[in-house]
Amino acid sequence: MENIASELKTMENLREDGDFEKLSKHVPASLDGIDPYEPDGIQMRVLVAEVYGREGKLEQMATVLEPYLQNLGQVPFALAARVLLMISVYRNRNGEPAEALRVGKLAETVATARGDELTAAEAIQAQGKALSSLNRWEEAVKRYEQAISLYAAQTRSYRLGVAYVALGGVLSRLGKVEDARTTLERGIRIMLKYKDEFSLAVARADVAIALNYMGEYEAALKYLQFAQDTFEQAGHETYKLMSLNKIAESLIFLKDYDRAGHFITKSLEAAIATRSTQIAFTYELKGRLSLARNELDKAEKTLISAVEMADQAGSPLQKAEARRTLGRVMLAQNRPADAVRILREGLESAIESRARMLELEIKALLSEAIYPDAPVEAVRYITEVEADLDERELPELRKICQAARKQIDSLDHEHYFIISDARMPTLSEARVAMLKWLWARALYKARGNAREAAEQLDVTPTYIRKLTKLIPRDLLRPGRKRSKRRRSTTI
């Protein structure tokens, strides 16, 4: 018993430091001789289950947790919160986020009742993961921020880094890429002190996504290459495929099309070998590469395949991305009607997946597609995008916005007079503008004589004094342009 207690203490310390590579070496070859309802046995199974979960071995994780999945009656109350926490993690990894959220809340309640602040903080973070899987991003942000506050108070540096990484990923999904970058880089700085290479690689991949949106493609590529090496060594196929795709995306932005094609080929080979449901993402990138090379017919065929694969996978995010790029191809082919149909379908999927940046991009493209027939709707879309864009450094989205705004501004203003909400002046601004115009007109007719201008406006000197306070003096009485005298030069 003393040996088991000593082993458990060592394993718990390794877990708290994030050294899961060493922790995995302490996993016993078999759990047959360990009572699943004794405290030491329960603690050992929970630790082993966590190791299996991080390695993506869900079947082994389920086997280890099997005594507790349906019946917690024999688990001592002192260990119930920890068991519930690991069940929540398993349910979320197994594609049951709603159940994971329910169990995570129960774990928090039990931990709080026992005064176990450490497990309560982890249970709150587990709820954040479940809410992320349910696309309830705003609620997930609140849970992660709460967990971060608790970890900081508990001086649990490793857990704090993990929570920052999780929060950054959610902020990126919400379209807050600048905040996501700051949060993720903070998490990376913390994680560099520990030996959890896998979590560090996930953080690097997530920050690269934000950097690509912000136009920092070289930096994104470096982060992704580090991450991809780790995923290769870990043999984690899902993250390996994701990193290959994101590397190809960065290379397309950098116009390094040959290398991008090489990584897309590697990604397709990996997706086919593992029968990945994420293959639509790779086909979308292949179509995007053809579009960048101006091979429009080839791009269209590839993207139609991507749309079909996305529909089969049932992923709203894949549906939205594939239709977004197909809509761009149709706009390049001067087929606005087809583009509108595809983009509207993509917009529905983007809204469903709560992918804010993708939603804004599709709305900007839709604005460009529908402006001749539905100018008011086009302006409504582009206004929303411009309001969100503001002064942010998002070059790709800005390019699409500028193209759409150029088309809208080219409309015949004799037929269409459009003011977007973002450009709509306030009542006070409109009043000042009108007064400026009236005063300038009166001054022009009076040849710059303020007294005569006041008489023409039929106003009193008092009104002019009030007007002087309202409008800057240089606008009230513009000076006359003086002709420049040429100095004569003597030779």
* Tens-digit pLDDT profile for residues 398-407: 999 888 888 8
Q: What is the pLDDT of residue 101?
A: 96
Question: What does the pLDDT read at residue 470?
Answer: 60
Q: Residues 76, 80, 83, 84: what is their CA dihedral angle, to the nearest 10 degrees?
A: 150
Average pLDDT over residues 164-193: 93
Predicted local distance difference test score (pLDDT) of residue 473: 54
Say what the pLDDT of residue 413 is.
53
Q: What is the mean pLDDT of residues 203-219?
A: 93
User: Is the CB of residue 185 less than 8 Å from the CB of residue 167?
Assistant: no
Q: What share of the chain is helix, strand, coil (3-state, %, to 5)?
A: 75, 0, 25
Report pLDDT for 135.
86
CA distance 82 to 12: 12
Instruction: Tell me how far apart the alpha carbons of residues 292 and 298 are, in angstroms, rounded to a whole number.
Output: 11
Q: Which of 418 and 297 is assigned the larger pLDDT? A: 297
Tell me the percentage of the chain whose pLDDT exceeds 90: 57
Write out the two tokens for 251.
């290379």
The confidence score (pLDDT) of residue 4 equals 78
Distance (Å, whole) CA 225 – CA 39:
43
Query: Residues of the chain with pLDDT > 70: what percent?
Result: 90
pLDDT at residue 454 in the model: 79
Handedness of CA 73, 75, 80, 82 (dihedral sign): negative
What's the confidence (pLDDT) of residue 464? 67
- What's the chain's Rg over C-alpha atoms? 31
Task: Provide the pLDDT for residue 301.
Answer: 96
Pair 129, 99: CB distance under 8 Å: no
Q: Which amino acid is at 353?
A: S
Which pLDDT does position 424 carry in this prediction?
60
Distance CA 439, CA 416 (A): 29
Q: At what angle do helices 2-17 and 39-54 cross, to 10 degrees?
A: 30
pLDDT (average), residues 184-191: 94
Residue pLDDT, tens place only, 424-481: 666 777 777 777 777 777 877 888 777 787 788 787 767 766 666 666 555 555 444 4
255, pLDDT greater than 90? yes
pLDDT (average), residues 412-434: 61
Give the residue from 15, 209, 221 showing the smallest Cα distance to 118. 15
Q: What is the largest CA-CA distance in the chain?
A: 111
Q: What is the pLDDT of residue 105?
A: 96
- Residue 145 tokens read as 């921020």
Contact 49, 61 (CB under 8 A): yes
Instruction: Quickly tell me which residue has 């060594």 as its tokens.
Output: 233
The answer to whether 248 and 263 have CB atoms below 8 angstroms apart is yes
Is the per-residue pLDDT at 483 higher than 80? Answer: no
Which whole number is the average pLDDT over 44-68? 91
The mean of the pLDDT values for the chain is 87
What does the pLDDT average to over 235-241? 85
The number of angstroms, rounded, from the C-alpha of 29 to the middle of its chain's C-alpha atoms is 41
CB 42 within 8 A of CB 75: yes
Q: How far apart are CA 113 and CA 399, in angstroms?
A: 54
Query: pLDDT value at position 273?
Result: 87
Of the pLDDT bands very low, low, confident and very high (cuts 50, 70, 90), residue 116 is very high
Whether the per-residue pLDDT at 288 is higher than 60: the answer is yes
- 3-state per-residue secondary structure call for 45-77: HHHHHHHHHHCCCHHHHHHHHHHHHCCCCCCCH
Query: If you ran DSSP here, which 8-state letter would residue 396 be given?
Result: H
User: Which of 27-31, 85-89, 449-453 is least confident?
Assistant: 449-453
Range with lowest mean pLDDT among 120-124, 154-158, 165-169, 455-459: 455-459
Helix and strand totals (H; E) in the chain: 25, 0
Q: What's the first-to-final CA gap in the chain, in angstroms? A: 110
- Collapsed DSSP state (helix, strand, coil) of residue 367: helix
What pLDDT is attached to residue 482?
A: 45
Running DSSP on this structure, what letter comes out for residue 458?
A: T
- Report, as an integer, the average pLDDT of 276-302: 94
pLDDT at residue 107 greater than cutoff 90: yes
Question: What pLDDT, on a 0 to 100 scale, did the predictor assign at position 444?
Answer: 79
Q: Are 60 and 50 in contact (CB under 8 A)?
A: no
Residue range 321-377, pLDDT digits in tens: 999 999 999 999 999 999 999 999 999 999 998 889 999 999 999 999 998 888 888
Q: Is residue 100's pLDDT more than 60? A: yes
Report the C-alpha gap between 67 and 58 in whole angstroms: 15
- State the angle between helix axes of 157-173 and 2-17 in degrees (0 to 180), rounded to the nearest 10: 40
pLDDT for res 96: 94
Paired tokens of 29: 């070859």
